[in-house]
Structure 1
Amino acid sequence: MEGKVVLITGGAGGIGQETAQLFLDNGAKVVLVDINEEALSNAKTSLNGNGDDILVVKANVTDEQDVQNYVKQTVDTYGKIDVFFNNAGINGPFASIKDLEKETFETILSINVTGVFLGLKHVIKQMESQGYGSIINTASNAAYIGSAGMAGYIASKHAVAGLTKTAALEAAGSGIRVNAVAPAAIDTQMLADIQNNITPGEPEASGEAIKQGIPVGRFGAPKEVAQVVLFLASDNASFVTGSLYNVDGGMQAD
């Protein structure tokens, strides 16, 4: 990754920061995009790297002008985009379909689907002008299954899987690879939010129940997702496109 430029949305989150650090450790320059300006500033401070190798951009991934701006700022600063980790997302509340508010459902889809779509749209344009690039979307084991109480999240991650495969086919002739990671039960704030949604005030109870459904018997670490992103971004995955890589402790195999 020496000298490569890596653009990461959801860059202030647990997986985003761990992935940024791993790329920095391997010689890359990173651009962190997030809607939370304070969290972005904290992320930049906490990352171990040369300040010139880290750019932060506040953006709403559902706003097309913001997306165009984070692409432009990356290219204006570093001249290219080698890798795009299209990672921003939310999980939403735990509620049955009959109780889920339409506005809440649309918000989840806006961030998790429209945000991914807009990132693909404008980064692919840049990568086509370069003649190369690697894109990794963040899907989930929710891309394969149903889950009572999580209609918005499940629907959105099924959509990310479809966008990944479609973008891979459309971009294959341009030297661009498009894949996705499909994490599950990764020890981040999002998982903590899910636990609190399932058992309000008693996250440990739902946490233990979740672990019982993981064959390896534990939660994953953000760095374990980052390592797969690094592989998919690298030339070691040069014949890999249109794939979803499970990072779930064996949950999909069970």
Structure 2
Amino acid sequence: MSLLTNKVGFVTGSGSGIGRESARVMAREGAAVVVSDINVEGGKETVEMIRGEGGEAFFIAADVSRESEIHGLIEGTLGQYGRLDFAYNNAGIAGPTKGVADYPLDEFDKVVAVNLRGVFLAMQAELAHMLPLGRGAILNTSSTFGLVGYPGCAAYVATKHAVAGLTRAAAIENSAAGIRVNAVCPGAIATPMVDEMADEISPGARQPIFDALGAAAPMGRMGRPQEIGEAAAWLVSDAASFVTGLTMTVDGGWTAQ
């Protein structure tokens, strides 16, 4: 039996990158997956990929910074599949590459709205559904930058630290009620978000940045989105039944140095 046979869950921010590949892995592991993203075209592409691989998927557009749209995502999932076993709160944005002294307030607020408020709102809504049932698994995307400091991306670092803290707090609060809450902390992963950050730092010259990111990890390369997806699928599965409050690094050994 596959890891997620007969399970139903959703993945936010699954129109590309880590979210897309996580949704694909989860579907291959037997789950019915609701793909959700503010990017409708990207989300529908993910659904077609999953269905083309023989999996079950459905798309619901949602802006995670809006409470009503989070509730709509949960209600839509229940309407389509009749249950919700796991939720992967993955949607996030990088924001500009600036330090604390120079960070524009409006840009800071945008990053907080998606990366922190979005995860908080989603967890509240997910817990409201799962607690009466006495079961469920919640997974959040933090980052290695949510565990250590890093210059030049102040809002991203701050929000990802906050996600790690929210994860631990919610895990402690809800474990006795049968709800597991964990976070995955990706390192340097080859995604469109990293492409955009590299372009901002060095327009037209991404490769030296990618080479440096790969060389910084003991494994000597950047990670692949699917590798985060494999960890995510395990964390929301019953195979991880005694795992809660974990911030799992998937970073090629970068934070072990």
Q: Which residue of 2 aligns with 1:65?
A: 68
Residue number in structure 2 paired with 1:149 = 152
TM-score normalised by length of structure 1? 0.96
Q: Hey, what does 2:95 align to over in structure 1?
A: 92
Where 1:130 maps in the other structure, the secondary structure is coil
Deviations 1:102-133 (A, max 9, x none): 00011001100000001100011111122101
Specify the SS of the correspondent of 1:216: coil
Residue identity opposite 1:20 in structure 2: A
- The residue number in structure 2 matching 1:204 is 207
Tell me what 1:226 maps to: 229
Aligned residues with identical type, % of pairs: 39
Bigger drift between 121-130 and 63-72 goes to 121-130
Determine whether 1:125 maps to 2:138: no
User: 1:31 matched to which residue of 2?
Assistant: 34
Q: Select 2:143's aligned residue among 132, 140, 145.
A: 140
Q: CA deviation at 1:197?
A: 2.4
Normalised by the length of structure 2, the TM-score is 0.95
For 1:176, the equivalent position in structure 2 comes to 179
The 2-side partners of 1:80 and 1:130 are apart by: 10
Once residues 254 and 123 of structure 2 are traced to their aligned partners in structure 1, the CA distance between those partners, rounded to angstroms, is: 28
2:190 to 184, 187, 195: 187
Corresponding position of 1:77:
80
Aligned length: 253
> Counterpart of 2:132 in 1: which secondary structure?
helix
Structure-2 separation of matches of 1:224 and 1:242: 21
Q: Can you list the C-alpha shifts for 1:52-103, whole angstroms capped at 9, x where unaligned?
A: x311111110000000100111111111111111100011111122221100
1:19 and 2:45 correspond: no
CA distance in 1, matches of 2:234, 2:49: 24
Structure 2, unmatched stretches of 5+, are none
Paired position in structure 2 for 1:217: 220
SS in structure 2 of the partner of residue 85 of structure 1: strand
Gaps of 5+ in 1: none
Residue-by-residue CA offset, 1:24-45 (whole Å, 9 max, x unaligned): 1122100011001111122212
CA RMSD of aligned residues (A): 1.2
1:41 aligns with 2:11: no
Mapped partners of 1:118, 1:30: distance in 2:
20
